[in-house]
Amino acid sequence: MTPPPGAVPPVRHPEAPAPGEPLGTHYEHCFGCGGAQPHGLQLSARAGAGVTITAEFTVREAHQGAPGLAHGGVLATALDETLGSLHWLLRVIAVTGRLQTEFLRPVPVGTLLYLEAEVTAVHRRKIYCSATGRLGGPDGPVAVRADALFIEVKVDHFIDNGRPEEIRAAMADPDQVKRARAFEVNP
């Protein structure tokens, strides 16, 4: 998880969403951020300054592991999704290669988890980043944190590997195609 020698600081893309701007979903059926997943996290992220993101996710009953507490895997999903959203600011498509999580405090159902993430370094296709999740809001105690390594991919990664039904549907949706291709035609 430590960037190798030769890693460079991340560069915010000139056409990245402005600080404070909501990012919207990258795919309606995404378990992390999609609106079409009733039990999904429906996490909403906003661009921050530099190559940073903030996001919010409210823990619901469907997200329990122990009675009244969020499942650790769901919290890891919230961290993964927030870290994944950072790539809007670099305007590259990237997938998680490694995700190292720390669970510092239990997170009760009903909690708003306030997440912050930043890209720390880039080395060729490797993007190093970290995130924290706080209870209740930006001043709350840190409950979860993660360090991650994302790997840049082209849109063909999804076309070649996704189940054909969903890929066909995504390719038939002009908004989805626009969202995906924008990353490649405006490097």
Q: Could you give the angle at the alpha carbon of 100 between the alpha carbons of 98 and 104, nearest 5°?
A: 160
Residue 124 interacting with ligand 3VV (CB under 6 A): yes
Stretch of 15-23, 60-68, 113-121, 152-160 lying at the interface with ligand 3VV (CB under 6 A): 152-160
Longest dimension (CA), the chain: 47
**In whole angstroms, what is the distance from residue 82 CA to residue 46 CA?**
10
Start-to-end Cα distance in the chain: 26
Residue 147 interacting with ligand 3VV (CB under 6 A): no
**In whole angstroms, what is the distance from residue 105 CA to residue 171 CA?**
41
Binding mask 8-37 for ligand 3VV (x = CB under 6 A): ------------------xx----------
- Contacts with ligand 3VV, residue ranges (CB under 6 A): 26-27, 80-81, 84, 93, 95-98, 124-126, 149, 151, 153, 155, 158-159, 170-171, 176-177, 180
